[in-house]
Chains A and B, each alone.
Chain A
Amino acid sequence: MAIFSLENVSFAYAGYRPSLVDISLAISSGERVALLGANGSGKSTVLHLLNGLYFAQSGQVRAFGTVLTELALDTAPFGPEFRRRVGFIFQNSDAQLFCPNVVEELEFGPLQLGLAKDEIRARVEDTLNLLGISALRDRAPQTLSAGQKRLVAVASALTMAPSVLLLDEPTAGLDARSQGRLLDVLDGMSERGVTLVSTTHDLTILTQMATRSIVLSEDHRIIFDGTSETVLNDEALLTQANLMFRRPER
């Protein structure tokens, strides 16, 4: 059953040309999906629409059977329940880390959801250990490296125990060990039935990130929806989407 669906969705930022044109797709519970496309193709915009942060100018976005509108998200019980179920890791970690230190960052989401404080403390400790960032617990965000910020941003979404995780370029800026650790965590979440929707440029880890890939063209339309293996084997598609460029022999 589809937990998310986009039906003929188009979207444009105010004063700019369209970012998405007539997009239709459905995502089922437990899927691992990657959104692929060149810079500016609209991958991040799709994630923002799925998270109810932007709203389609035409077409419909549905989540858990409800059309995502500002009114629906402002109304209990759907709004708070939606926020509990859907976690979002932003591309700009500085935007996501707005608390004075790492521990408070991880506590923020569960506190807004009204969880018991003992439960929150336990979740924070588990998540810090899981991502290997316990040593950063009292650090202020501005003192962290880009890779550390990215891991803390991931951790801040994990403490909400989402059933859907939307990740905007999750491995960007991570060193090899941190990247491996993050992929391990995502594997574990996937095994527990969490739906993962990621955007990425990194084709080398595509099959580890997702089993299904959706490719957006530079004119903001879906040009492929299928398995990640198929995408990697389709050089013409990758070239068309500006995901690959073969340099002429010199």
Chain B
Amino acid sequence: MTLPEWMSVAGENGPARPARSRHAVGSRWVRRAANGLAQLMAETLDQRTTCSLPGYLQGLDPRAKVVGLLGLVVATTLVHTGLALALAYAFAVVLALASGISVRRVGQVWLIVPLFTLAIMLPATLNIVTPGKNVGVIWQGVQGSLGPWRLPETLAITDTGIQAAVRMTGRTATCVTLTLLLAYTTRADRLFRGLRSLGMPAIFASVLTMMDRYLHVVAQAAHEIHLSKLSRTIRSGGIRQDHQWVAAGMGSLFRRTEALGGDVHRAMVSRGYRGDVHPMTDLTIRTQDGLFLVGCVGLAVMMLGLG
């Protein structure tokens, strides 16, 4: 076999052309997305680690946790006073510490929640949505109209608007923290089994369990697709080409996922699966689960009493 002339050793066909700086930004966002996938994989493994810690919540029956913590989430959404919200948040922090989850980890909620909540709540701080005492004037002018809408003479932030935004942020952070506790301390398959025994249809529980198991495989495949592209990239083709590449990668991943889904189903059928998964251990409610539920109900009643 004779190789074509151009297949000579590197360097003898002229130097590779370096990346053009004006297109470098195109590659960066793809790289960021790929790094996000790698982080997702790491976080999935990390979450499995916290689930197996010998902590208080980890030792409870998943049904008790689902009912207790989600019950507190509902109570949190119904209360208005800062004291009631503070009680719920303090309870969540105590549970986290008793379950071996660091305050730093629980506190990460405060890095993300205010960003999104405040963005949503921003209009509610204005006098045109929430009347109250003006604490900061944004715009002042003559009263006019914009089509059918009457424009106010003054656009300002009100004290009651700020209170509503802060309350909403606190409420959201507390709800997210309580929900994260459930995820951090309950292995996904046990969580779905718990939901199943609380009435979720078997097919949903099976699909969710499979999703959790294969999320990592799909993320890994996507990461490898990116790495294989990176290893052959000499210069960036710009954002448009990156968009095309990402779309092609998504298509390829979809085909692989579909094939894997078929293989998994056949592997399950081959080992006797007939529509429902039989677990090795049965879920049992014990005294500690009952005490946890009583505690959650007591706190919820107290919070509702505070208003």
Chain A residues proximal to chain B, CB less than 8 Å:
48, 51, 53, 79-80, 83-84, 86-88, 90, 92, 94-96, 98-100, 104, 107-109, 111-114, 117, 120, 138, 140-143, 156-157, 160
Contact = CB atoms under 8 A, between A and B. Distances in A.
Given A104-B280, A141-B213, A143-B45, A112 B270 contact: no
Interface string B259-285: 010011011111111100111100000
Given A83-B272, A88-B270, A114 B280 contact: no
Contacts of B260: 92, 94-95
B267 A96 contact: yes
Nearest to A113: B272
Majority secondary structure, B binding face = helix
B216 interface: yes
A53 B271 CA distance: 11
Contact of A100 (B45, B213, B269, B278): B213
B242 to A, nearest CB: 28
B210 interface: yes
A100 B264 contact: no
A156 B189 CA distance: 19
B130 interface: no
Given A94-B260, A95-B260, A100-B188, A109 B213 contact: no
Contact of B280 (A86, A88, A117): A117
B220 interface: yes
Given A98-B213, A142-B216, A109 B272 contact: yes
A120 B45 CA distance: 28
A53 B213 contact: no
B48 A83 contact: no
Nearest to A80: B272
Report the contact-size class of chain B (Cβ under 8 Å from the partner). 20 to 34
A111 B281 CA distance: 10
Interface in B201-259: 210, 213-214, 216-217, 220
A104 B270 CA distance: 16
A68 B216 CA distance: 35
A114 B48 CA distance: 29
Contacts of A113: 272
A98 B274 contact: no
A112 B272 contact: yes
B63 interface: no
A209 to B, nearest CB: 21
A191 to B, nearest CB: 24
A84 B272 contact: yes
Contact of B264 (A95, A109, A138): A95
A48 B266 contact: yes
Contacts of B267: 88, 90, 95-96, 98
Contacts of A143: 45
B280 A53 contact: no
Contacts of A100: 187-189, 213
A109 B266 CA distance: 13
A107 B271 contact: no
A208 to B, nearest CB: 25
Interface string B46-65: 00100010000000000000
25 contacts: A53-B266, A53-B269, A79-B274, A83-B270, A86-B270, A87-B270, A87-B271, A88-B271, A90-B267, A94-B217, A95-B263, A95-B267, A98-B264, A99-B213, A100-B188, A107-B280, A111-B280, A113-B272, A114-B278, A117-B280, A140-B45, A141-B213, A142-B217, A156-B271, A157-B271
Contacts of A140: 45, 48
Contacts of A156: 271
Contacts of A88: 267, 270-271
Contact of B268 (A84, A87, A98): A98
Contacts of B187: 100
Q: Which of A95, A138, A141: most chain B CB closer than 10 A?
A: A95
Nearest to A100: B189
A80 to B, nearest CB: 7
B278 A92 contact: no
Nearest to B45: A143
A6 to B, nearest CB: 18
Nearest to A157: B271
Contacts of A95: 260, 263-264, 266-267
A112 B274 contact: yes
A104 B274 CA distance: 17
B34 to A, nearest CB: 18
B262 to A, nearest CB: 9
A112 B280 contact: no
Interface in B155-202: 187-189
A39 B273 CA distance: 30
Nearest to B266: A53
A112 B278 contact: yes
Nearest to A48: B266
